[in-house]
Amino acid sequence: MNDSDCLFCKIVAGDIPSTKVRETERVLAFRDLNPKAPTHVLVIPKDHYANVAELSRADPALAGEVLAVAADVADADGATESGWRLLANSGANAGQEVFHVHFHVFGGKPLGPMLA
Protein backbone atom coordinates (compact mmCIF):
# COMPACT_ATOMS: atom_id res chain seq x y z
CA MET A 1 0.00 0.00 0.00
CA ASN A 2 1.90 3.07 -1.19
CA ASP A 3 0.86 6.64 -1.93
CA SER A 4 2.09 7.98 -5.28
CA ASP A 5 2.18 11.58 -3.96
CA CYS A 6 4.22 10.74 -0.86
CA LEU A 7 7.91 11.73 -0.70
CA PHE A 8 8.93 8.79 1.50
CA CYS A 9 6.97 6.28 -0.63
CA LYS A 10 9.05 7.60 -3.55
CA ILE A 11 12.23 7.00 -1.51
CA VAL A 12 11.04 3.44 -0.76
CA ALA A 13 10.37 2.91 -4.48
CA GLY A 14 13.83 4.28 -5.38
CA ASP A 15 12.31 7.14 -7.43
CA ILE A 16 14.05 9.66 -5.14
CA PRO A 17 17.62 8.84 -4.05
CA SER A 18 18.53 8.43 -0.39
CA THR A 19 21.49 7.28 1.67
CA LYS A 20 20.23 4.00 3.08
CA VAL A 21 21.78 2.75 6.30
CA ARG A 22 19.63 -0.30 6.98
CA GLU A 23 16.83 -2.21 5.30
CA THR A 24 14.58 -5.15 6.15
CA GLU A 25 11.68 -6.58 4.15
CA ARG A 26 9.27 -4.07 5.71
CA VAL A 27 11.43 -1.28 7.14
CA LEU A 28 13.86 1.27 5.68
CA ALA A 29 16.37 3.55 7.45
CA PHE A 30 18.06 6.41 5.60
CA ARG A 31 19.99 9.57 6.51
CA ASP A 32 18.07 12.82 6.91
CA LEU A 33 18.75 15.30 4.10
CA ASN A 34 19.31 18.14 6.63
CA PRO A 35 20.98 16.44 9.61
CA LYS A 36 20.58 18.13 13.02
CA ALA A 37 23.13 15.83 14.73
CA PRO A 38 26.11 13.67 13.59
CA THR A 39 23.68 10.75 13.56
CA HIS A 40 20.32 11.78 12.11
CA VAL A 41 18.56 8.85 10.49
CA LEU A 42 14.89 8.42 9.57
CA VAL A 43 13.35 4.98 10.13
CA ILE A 44 10.10 4.20 8.30
CA PRO A 45 7.80 1.31 7.48
CA LYS A 46 7.87 0.74 3.72
CA ASP A 47 4.06 0.72 3.67
CA HIS A 48 2.37 4.08 3.95
CA TYR A 49 0.89 5.13 7.30
CA ALA A 50 0.45 8.84 8.03
CA ASN A 51 1.56 8.87 11.66
CA VAL A 52 2.40 6.80 14.74
CA ALA A 53 -1.26 6.31 15.70
CA GLU A 54 -2.16 4.89 12.27
CA LEU A 55 0.85 2.58 12.19
CA SER A 56 0.65 1.28 15.74
CA ARG A 57 -3.10 0.62 15.58
CA ALA A 58 -3.05 -1.00 12.13
CA ASP A 59 0.10 -3.11 12.61
CA PRO A 60 1.63 -3.17 16.11
CA ALA A 61 4.16 -5.82 15.05
CA LEU A 62 5.42 -3.56 12.29
CA ALA A 63 5.64 -0.64 14.74
CA GLY A 64 7.80 -2.87 16.95
CA GLU A 65 9.99 -3.82 13.99
CA VAL A 66 10.53 -0.12 13.19
CA LEU A 67 11.70 0.47 16.78
CA ALA A 68 14.05 -2.53 16.63
CA VAL A 69 15.61 -1.17 13.41
CA ALA A 70 16.01 2.24 15.11
CA ALA A 71 17.97 0.52 17.91
CA ASP A 72 20.10 -1.28 15.31
CA VAL A 73 20.82 2.06 13.60
CA ALA A 74 21.97 3.55 16.92
CA ASP A 75 24.20 0.49 17.46
CA ALA A 76 25.68 0.74 13.97
CA ASP A 77 26.51 4.44 14.43
CA GLY A 78 28.16 3.72 17.80
CA ALA A 79 25.52 5.71 19.70
CA THR A 80 24.24 3.02 22.04
CA GLU A 81 26.73 3.68 24.82
CA SER A 82 26.92 7.48 24.46
CA GLY A 83 23.13 7.83 24.16
CA TRP A 84 20.65 8.64 21.44
CA ARG A 85 17.13 9.96 20.96
CA LEU A 86 14.07 8.65 19.12
CA LEU A 87 11.52 11.26 17.97
CA ALA A 88 8.32 11.07 15.98
CA ASN A 89 6.41 14.25 15.17
CA SER A 90 2.65 13.83 14.72
CA GLY A 91 0.59 16.61 13.21
CA ALA A 92 0.90 20.37 12.80
CA ASN A 93 1.69 21.37 16.40
CA ALA A 94 4.62 18.94 16.43
CA GLY A 95 5.90 20.24 13.09
CA GLN A 96 5.33 17.06 11.08
CA GLU A 97 6.32 17.90 7.50
CA VAL A 98 6.18 14.50 5.80
CA PHE A 99 2.97 12.56 6.37
CA HIS A 100 4.52 9.10 6.08
CA VAL A 101 5.30 8.01 9.62
CA HIS A 102 9.00 8.31 10.45
CA PHE A 103 11.12 8.04 13.57
CA HIS A 104 14.14 10.34 13.83
CA VAL A 105 17.24 8.72 15.37
CA PHE A 106 19.55 11.42 16.77
CA GLY A 107 22.97 10.78 18.29
CA GLY A 108 26.67 11.50 18.19
CA LYS A 109 26.62 14.59 20.43
CA PRO A 110 24.96 15.76 23.68
CA LEU A 111 21.40 16.49 22.58
CA GLY A 112 20.18 18.78 25.36
CA PRO A 113 16.74 18.51 26.93
CA MET A 114 14.91 18.75 23.58
CA LEU A 115 15.82 18.90 19.90
CA ALA A 116 13.50 21.41 18.21
What is the per-residue binding string for ligand 5GP in 29-68, x denoting contact by CB under 6 A?
-x-xxx----------------------------------
Contacts of 61 (CB under 8 A, 6+ apart): none
Backbone φ and ψ for 39, nearest 5 degrees, come out as: -105, 115
Cβ neighbour number for residue 12 with a 10 Å cutoff = 21
Residue 32 interacts with which of ligand 5GP, Zn ion, none, CB < 5 to 8 Å by class: ligand 5GP
Residue nearest to Zn ion (CB): 6
Q: Whose Cβ is closer to Zn ion: residue 62's or residue 111's?
A: 62
Closest distance of CB 95 from ligand 5GP, Å: 5
* Contact set with ligand 5GP (CB under 6 A): 7, 16, 18, 30, 32-34, 89, 95-98
